């Protein structure tokens, strides 16, 4: 089922208190007095009352009749509705829990390397060290990357990106659940990646998957078609536990070259939510890139409101707002939405710091925000353009756990206990009223009818659960 940010959430149903004990006591007294008056008025003259038959008609039969009628009175006045409420509230709990889990899903940044024209860009932009750089219209190059031509510069960039990640890459590759994703201008750069991989003596020969710069990926969804697999009607997640993303933008050299974007490069070693579940406290991540919300540019305020209402992170923990490559309506609507949201955040524009940005900024910005979240600077809000509008997401050090409280009132049983007791009571009444001293056809039919109704009530309980759940998901799917 596709995730919806505007998922309707049903209110919790409540059921009133069951009938008080005095109702059943009054019922028993009425039946007991009626049975006593009827027995006394019809009792044969001269027959002693100190007999089993008198006790049977004045005590045992009225008690069984009271239990039988009381059970169905409870079922009609309270039990059937309480069962419906329990089933519905249970499905509601599952809906909200699953929605919260999906809204807070994403990928973990295990390690990263960021190459930008300004060193230590993240801490400078936040003013933690030095002053924030201001290069709003300057086309800047990666001076630290040396090379005589484009190919050698690519390899130099790859060498600088991969070297700091070697310890983490060794463990990731040996997990046998690893792939490498390349997002850049040329698919041929895959050969450069393999060459540097061997040069650094990294283990194995990983699968390198190239995606062009126009492809937009979502952190909480599959990046490739084979990341999801349908098996027996269920969707199976086949995303590798570890994924290394490499992305860069290098300007072409030459006397006639007129670059339009600043250079930058980034490497992100990512881990899936499945990996986090398996490793639990043993997984050491820098930060989490949480599920993005994507909406039309003129509806940026609505997108941000939905994102905040999802409570991926408490509002008071959101301290910084990063953006890049936003223009025109997308820029003004997004800035207005953040300003009107009541968030107290510092604004950080990548384009203003290191010049006009290429599409690689989508990853550079996430890596910068992840590093600052790792450095204890709170949750980071990131805004980036999309072909269909604006994408917003949070970068957090730790995910907020799912917090939907399960209540004992949500529990229910598919076994019709009270109805079965009523059926056994009916059988006991019918057998005690029989004058036969031996087992015969009447007794066999009576027991069979009681067993049949026990099975019928069990089937009805299962069927009604199916009806209640179908009605619920039909309304809120």
**Beta carbons within 8 Å of 219's beta carbon, 6+ residues apart:** 105, 106, 107, 289, 290, 291, 292, 393
Helices and strands (H and E) in the chain: how many:
15, 13
User: Which residues sit opposite 322 in a β-bridge?
Assistant: 348, 382
Backbone angles phi, psi at 231, to 5 degrees: -135, 115
CA distance 477 to 406: 21
Measure the CA angle with vertex 256, ends 254 and 260; round to 5°.
Answer: 95
pLDDT at position 152, please?
84
Q: Tell me the HSE value of 97 on the side-chain side, using a 13 A CA sphere.
A: 9
pLDDT at 115: 95
CA-CA distance, 74 to 64, in Å (whole number)? Answer: 15
- Domain ranges within the chain, ordered by starting residue: 21-99+407-476, 105-396
pLDDT for the residue numbered 434: 81
Q: What is the full DSSP assignment across 219-264?
A: TTS-SSGGGEEEETTEEEE---SEEEEEEEE----STT----S--E
Q: Which helix (H) or strand (E) holds 380?
A: strand 379-386
User: What was the pLDDT predicted at 249?
Assistant: 93
Give the β-pairing of 234-237 and 293-295.
unpaired
Q: Which residues contact 24 (CB under 8 A, 6 or more apart)?
A: 66, 70, 73, 74
3-state secondary structure of 211: strand
Q: What 3-state class would DSSP assign to 351?
A: helix
Q: Is 313 left (phi over 0), alpha (psi -120 to 50) or beta?
A: beta
Chain mean position to CA 8: 15
Question: Among 3.40.47.10, 3.90.1300.10, 3.40.630.30, 3.30.1180.20, what is the CATH number of 105-396?
Answer: 3.40.47.10
Q: CA-based diameter of the chain, in Å? A: 131
Scored b (16 or more CB within 10 A) or e, 460-469 reads: ebeeebeebe
User: pLDDT at position 150, please?
Assistant: 56
The pLDDT of residue 138 is 92
For residue 290, the tally of other CB atoms under 10 A from its CB is 25
Q: Is 235:228 a contact under the CB 8 Å cutoff?
A: yes
| Terminal Cα distance for the chain, rounded | 8
- Please name every residue paired with 288 in a beta bridge, in sequence order, or none if there are none: 108, 396
CA distance 140 to 262: 5
Report the chain (477 residues): mean pLDDT per 10 consecutive residues: 88 90 92 88 80 83 90 89 94 94 94 94 91 91 72 89 94 90 91 93 89 89 72 66 94 76 95 86 88 95 96 94 95 96 94 94 96 95 93 95 89 91 90 82 90 93 95 90
Q: 210, 224 in Cβ contact below 8 A?
A: no
**Residue given tokens 């484009």 in the structure block:** 150
Distances (CA, A) of 229 to 5, 233, 241: 24, 10, 15
Beta bridge partners of residue 379, listed in sequence order: 318
31, 69 contact by CB (below 8 A): yes
Q: Which helix (H) or strand (E) holds 302?
A: helix 300-309
């Amino acid at each position: 089922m596709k995730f919806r940010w505007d998922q309707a959430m049903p209110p919790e149903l409540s059921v009133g208190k069951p009938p008080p004990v005095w109702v059943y006591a009054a019922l028993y007294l009425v039946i007991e007095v009626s049975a006593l008056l009827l027995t006394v008025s019809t009792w044969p003259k001269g027959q002693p009352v100190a007999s089993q038959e008198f006790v049977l008609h004045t005590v045992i039969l009225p008690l069984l009749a009271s239990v039988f009628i009381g059970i169905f009175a409870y079922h009609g006045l309270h039990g059937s509705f309480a069962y419906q409420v329990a089933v519905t509230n249970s499905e509601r709990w599952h809906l909200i829990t699953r929605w919260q889990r999906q809204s807070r899903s994403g990928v973990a940044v295990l390690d990263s390397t960021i190459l930008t024209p300004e060193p230590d860009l993240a801490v400078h932009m936040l003013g933690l060290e030095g002053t924030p750089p201001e290069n709003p219209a300057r086309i800047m190059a990666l001076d630290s990357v040396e090379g005589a031509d484009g190919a050698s510069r690519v390899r130099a960039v790859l060498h600088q990106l991969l070297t700091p990640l070697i310890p983490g890459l060794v463990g990731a590759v040996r997990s046998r659940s690893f792939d490498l994703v390349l997002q850049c201008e040329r698919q041929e750069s895959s050969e450069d990646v393999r060459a540097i991989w061997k040069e650094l003596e990294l283990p194995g020969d990983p699968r390198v998957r190239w995606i062009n710069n126009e492809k937009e990926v979502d952190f909480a969804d599959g990046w490739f078609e084979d990341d999801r697999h349908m098996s027996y009607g269920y969707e199976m997640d086949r995303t590798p536990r570890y994924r290394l993303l490499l992305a860069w933008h290098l300007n072409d050299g030459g006397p006639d070259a007129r670059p339009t974007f600043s250079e930058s490069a980034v490497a992100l070693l990512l881990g899936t939510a499945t990996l986090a579940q398996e490793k639990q406290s043993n997984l050491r991540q820098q930060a989490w890139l949480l599920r993005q919300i994507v909406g039309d540019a003129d509806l940026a305020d609505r997108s941000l409101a939905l994102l905040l209402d999802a409570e991926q992170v408490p509002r008071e923990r959101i301290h910084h707002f990063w953006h890049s490559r936003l223009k025109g309506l997308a820029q003004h609507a997004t800035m207005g939405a953040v300003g009107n949201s009541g968030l107290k955040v510092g604004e950080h524009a990548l384009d203003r710091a290191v010049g006009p940005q290429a599409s690689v900024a989508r990853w550079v910005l996430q890596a910068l925000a992840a590093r600052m979240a790792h450095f204890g600077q709170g949750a980071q809000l990131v805004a980036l353009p999309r072909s269909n509008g604006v994408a917003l997401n949070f970068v957090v050090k730790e995910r907020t756990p799912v917090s939907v409280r399960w209540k004992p009132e949500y529990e229910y049983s598919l076994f019709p206990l009270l109805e079965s007791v009523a059926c056994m009571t009916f059988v006991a009444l019918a057998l005690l009223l029989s004058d036969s001293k031996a087992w015969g056809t009447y007794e066999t039919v009576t027991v069979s009818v009681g067993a049949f109704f026990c099975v019928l009530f069990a089937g009805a309980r299962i069927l009604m659960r199916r009806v209640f759940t179908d009605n619920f998901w039909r309304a809120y799917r």
